[in-house]
Structure 1
Amino acid sequence: MTKMVPQTEEIAPAPGAAKQAKEQATDSNPLHLLTRNLRTSGIYIAFVAIVVLFAILTDGVSLSPRNVTNIVLQYSYILVLAIGMVIVIIAGHIDLSVGSVVALCGAVSAVLVIQQGYPTWVGIVAALAVGMAVGAWHGFWVAYVGIPAFIVTLAGMLLFRGLTLQVLDNISLSPFPREYSRIATGFLNGLIGGDGYDAFTLLIGGIAVAGYAVSSWRSRMAQLRYEQPVESLPLFIAKIVAVAAVVMAFAWQLAHSRGLPIVLIILAVLVIVYGLVTKRTIFGRQVYAIGGNLSAAMLSGVKVRKVNFWIFVNMGFLAGVAGVIYSSRMNGAQPSAGEMFELDAIAAAFIGGAAVTGGVGTVVGAMVGGLIMAVMSNGMQLMGVEQPIQSVVKGLVLLLAVAFDVYNKRRAGASR
């Protein structure tokens, strides 16, 4: 009699298990982790490389305390615009009017403060209110009427440039009172002493480094709790040390010049606030959802029109802030103020990693992109490079940044 031997039944793998296992194996691959980290951190590596390059080409003049301070003062308003622009681009839109809005806000502030003698705070509030009103105008046409942002803001660029000429009666107004001009040219120094340097600036730099380290550690712990891949601990520590070295070197240069610029404090507050808004709030997640997949965002209950409206109101507000800073820096208002600012802000966002198709980008990335443009412009000026050549270089850098984004998307699509 034949003895029956029970056969073991083969269990079919669960749907998606093979794919999940493949992704886990890929994530644990050191080469893949290194490639991914280089892709996400490439903008920071490029920034450091550009700083070092121009330091060599200018015999160290670009890193002198005075020049580092001048970079902060000269390009702060572009960085403010880049914060708003990256949010607009993440949502899949564009704003071509911000340069004209900067000019209009500065013009309104100048008329009130210089011509009519109102206090400084009245001019600042009026500039911010005008910026938000312009943003609401754009938001209405984009969100509720359905006209593409490119057309609406192109019309706005012409419209608000014309209003600027009307407000100023086609003449320049100057000077502002000292308290107004201190917004973009004032410094905090001597608060806690220092022998040949400003200790307060170094203290603020140390606090910034500590805050970044704590925030990065908490983010890493959260990723580990959710079993998400993270870089190795030595690489994580090396990144913190590198950031700390750059920040403290920057603070050291400022401390040996004129101290901590007031405009840098304004910019730091905006970066922190908008970094939290984009990453930790419902509004921020909805902006990414709209830019990433509009249909899915609508099906998931996102009020797309409302979000788009407030995106442009926010852009107008930041254009008002930039208008105050720029008019303070120039100590007056001019009809031609803000020309080409929109292109610098857009370039900063794209160089900083924002995707052309929307859904991708960060505030910090836009800041780094703006600093790359600032360092290049400043370095070429120190080298005596002619303006046409500077424009060619900036255009090529922007083109390469967008090409790199397109290449990464194709590469990611091919690996799926």
Structure 2
Amino acid sequence: MTSTKPPQTRESGGSPAAALTTGTSDPRTLIMRNLRQSGIYVAFVVIVALFAILTDGVSLSPGNITNIVLQYSYILVLAIGMVILIIGGHIDLSVGSVVALTGAVSAVLVIQQGLPWWVGVVAAIAVGLAVGAWHGFWVAYIGMPAFIVTLAGMLLFRGLTLQVLDNISLSPFPAEYQKVANGFLNGLLGGQGYDAFTLIIGAVAVAGIAVSGYRTRAARIGYQQSVESFPLFVLRILLIGAVIMYFAWQLAHARGLPIVLIILAILVIVYGLVTRRTVFGRQVYAIGGNLSAAQLSGVKVKSVNFWMFVNMGFLAGVAGVIYSSRSNGAQPAAGNMFELDAIAAAFIGGAAVAGGVGTVVGAMVGGLIMAVMSNGMQLMGIDQSVQSVIKGLVLLFAVAFDIYNKRRVGANR
């Protein structure tokens, strides 16, 4: 009598493959997969350490870390929407112009017409939603390529911004509006020379990441999918936790927890759950991974595409509020090149050019890499032209690594 044992998932063993992951036996494939999953975090830590050395520790000072959060928060908000579009096989070249337009509408209502500050916030987000619906209509229901639609939108909404502002800048916003991007929560729980509330929030964030990561890993093992070894998983969580707590410690010794960081954290948590735990999120991945298969599986492709662009418009409206609050006004040239920074954040964070691959957290790390690089080079006094060259090369190599990784994994299957 022959007995059949169910397949077992191993986390460690006598082979190089077992030490890295499960579900396959080719060490090269496993290494490439683990590099793709965890390499971005290692790269982030290395870049932070590099600029800390090059700037004699100034880049890691409490004040500078706070400035990084405040100065690049709107790019990270845009990166959330951009990575979802890229996962679905699209792109949006108009988000910089939409940021300018939404900020301009808010400024006209609040500064010129004297309406309450929250009216400007609501109006900016409403304009962003309308823009997203406009793009979604042309892409989803007319069938035009997103590249062309949003390129036209870049020109269209930049022109509308100039008309709304009548080619002049408007400032200042009331104090309540400025607090959106410049306000802090400090002293809620006390602390001797530091803000205890900021440290508690940092610890809660680390605990949430650890629990979420463990549950995701356990679910993948249950479905016989490839995962990293448990020691490597623990090392990654410890590394992420150490980075988060270090930044929380620095913020606690500066001005406390920025309000904009709370907004960003909420968005990351919500969209992380949307992309990983909801039907809509799975459909976005399905469309970007294999459009024909998604259609045959009953996915309502037009509807999903439409709401992806509506979501991008919503986040562009949020970014418009944050940016106008940060700059304390609205300018005709606001948002220039923001779309390229958001796209770069998504690709550096692991999104695939062909779609179907990427994560919200990865886009955040990619955006932080760009932020740390830009901030570090500014502290070093590097010319703006050289900064552009370096950031362009980083983006190029990130996409090249994605293509190389995909070819290696495909060749080893």
Shorter-chain TM band: over 0.9
C-alpha contact (below 8 Å) 1:352/1:365 kept by paired residues: yes
Report SS of the residue matched to 2:170: coil
Tell whether the 8 Å contact from 2:346 to 2:362 is kept in structure 1 after alignment.
Answer: yes
Q: Is 2:66 the partner of 1:69?
A: yes
TM-superposed CA distance for 1:239, in Å, is 1.7
Number of residue pairs aligned between Structure 1 and Structure 2: 395
Deviation at 1:346, TM superposition (A): 0.5
Deviations 1:74-101 (A, max 9, x none): 0000000000000111111110000000
1:378 aligns with 375
User: How much does 1:38 deviate?
Assistant: 2.4
| 8 Å Cα contact 2:38-2:236 kept in structure 1 | no
Residues 336-375 of structure 1 correspond to what in structure 2 (within 5 A)?
A: 336-375=333-372
Shift of 1:230: 2.9
Match of residue 19 from structure 1: none
Instruction: Find out whether 1:167 has 2:167 as its counterpart.
Output: no
Contact 1:75 1:374 in 2 (8 A): yes
- For 1:212, the aligned partner's letter is I
**Is the counterpart of residue 314 in structure 1 residue 311 in structure 2?**
yes
> What corresponds to 1:265 in structure 2?
262
Quote the offset at 1:215 in angstroms: 1.2
How much has 1:50 moved relative to structure 2?
0.5
Percent identity, please: 80
Whole-Å separation in 2 of the counterparts to 1:32 and 1:323: 42
Matched, 1:286 2:259: no
Report the equivalent of 1:133. Answer: 130
CA RMSD of aligned residues (A): 1.6
Question: For 1:184-206, what per-residue CA distance to the aligned partner results, in whole angstroms no more than 9, with x for missing partners?
Answer: 00000100000011000000001
Amino acid at match of 2:132: G
Structure 2 partner of 1:4: none
Separation (CA, whole Å) in 2 of partners of 1:139 and 1:235 = 41
Q: Partner of 2:154 in structure 1? A: 157
Q: Tell me how far 1:175 sits from its aligned partner.
A: 0.3
Does the 8 Å contact 1:26/1:32 carry over to 2? no
C-alpha distance in structure 2 between counterparts of 1:30 and 1:94, whole Å: 34
Asked whether the 8 Å contact 1:350–1:366 carries over to 2, the reply is yes
Measured in 1, the distance between the counterparts of 2:391 and 2:380 equals 15
Q: Classify the secondary structure of the residue corresponding to 2:295.
A: helix
Distance 2:309 2:23 in 1: 40
Runs of 4+ in 1 over 6 A off after TM superposition: 22-26
Equivalent positions of 1:5-404 (< 5 A) are 27=24, 33-404=30-401
Per-residue deviation, 1:34: 4.5
Residues 32, 402 of structure 1: alpha-carbon distance in 2 compared, 3 angstrom cutoff: closer
Q: Residues 383 and 293 of structure 1: is their aligned pair in 2 closer, same or farther, counting only changes over 3 Å? A: same
Whole-Å separation in 2 of the counterparts to 1:255 and 1:26: 43
Tell me, in whole angstroms, the C-alpha distance in 2 between the residues paired with 1:54 and 1:233: 31
Q: Distance in 2 between matches of 1:168 and 1:35?
A: 50
The Cα shift of 1:224 comes to 2.9
**1:412 aligns to what?**
409
Distance in 1 between residues matched to 2:22 and 2:56, nearest whole Å = 47
Report the alpha carbon displacement of residue 39 of structure 1 after superposing the two structures with TM.
2.8
Going from structure 1 to structure 2, the CA distance change for 1:299 and 1:31 (only over 3 Å counts) comes to: closer
Q: Which moved more, 1:227-236 or 1:95-104?
A: 227-236
Output the CA distance in 2 between the equivalents of 1:374 and 1:273: 23
Which residue identity does 2:191 align to in structure 1? G
Q: Distance in 1 between matches of 2:193 and 2:87?
A: 44
Please report the TM-score for the alignment, with normalisation by the length of structure 1. 0.92
CA change 1:32–1:409 in 2 (3 A) is: closer
Shift of residue 218 of structure 1?
1.6
Report the TM-score when normalising by structure 2.
0.93
| CA-to-aligned-CA distance 1:56-89 (integer Å, 9 cap, x gap) | 0000000000000000000000000000000111
Deviation (angstroms), 1:137: 0.5
C-alpha distance after superposition, 1:112-147 (max 9, x if no partner): 001101111111000000000000000111111111
Question: How far apart in 2 are the matches of 1:188 and 1:211?
Answer: 21
Distance 1:25 1:188 in 2: 44
Cα distance per residue 1:367-399 (max 9 Å; x no partner): 001001000000000000000000000000000
CA 1:78–1:31 in structure 2 vs 1: closer, same or farther (change >3 Å)?
A: same
Match of 2:10 in 1: none
- 1:18 maps to what in 2? none
Distance of 1:257 and 1:311 partners within structure 2: 38
**Aligned residue in 1 for 2:4:** none
1:213 deviates by: 1.3
* Closer/same/farther in 2, CA of residues 242 and 380 from structure 1, 3 Å limit: same
Q: Distance in 2 between matches of 1:63 and 1:123?
A: 35
Q: 1:4-49: per-residue Cα shift (whole Å, max 9, x none)?
A: xxxxxxxxxxxxxxxxxx9999735677545432232111111111
Counterpart contact for 2:29–2:409, Cα < 8 Å: no
Question: SS of 1:27's equivalent?
Answer: coil
Gap runs ≥5 in structure 1: 1-21
* CA pair 355-29 structure 1, distance change in 2 beyond 3 A: closer
CA distance, structure 1, for counterparts of residue 29 and residue 336 of structure 2 = 43
Measure the CA separation in 2 of the matches of 1:102 and 1:210: 34
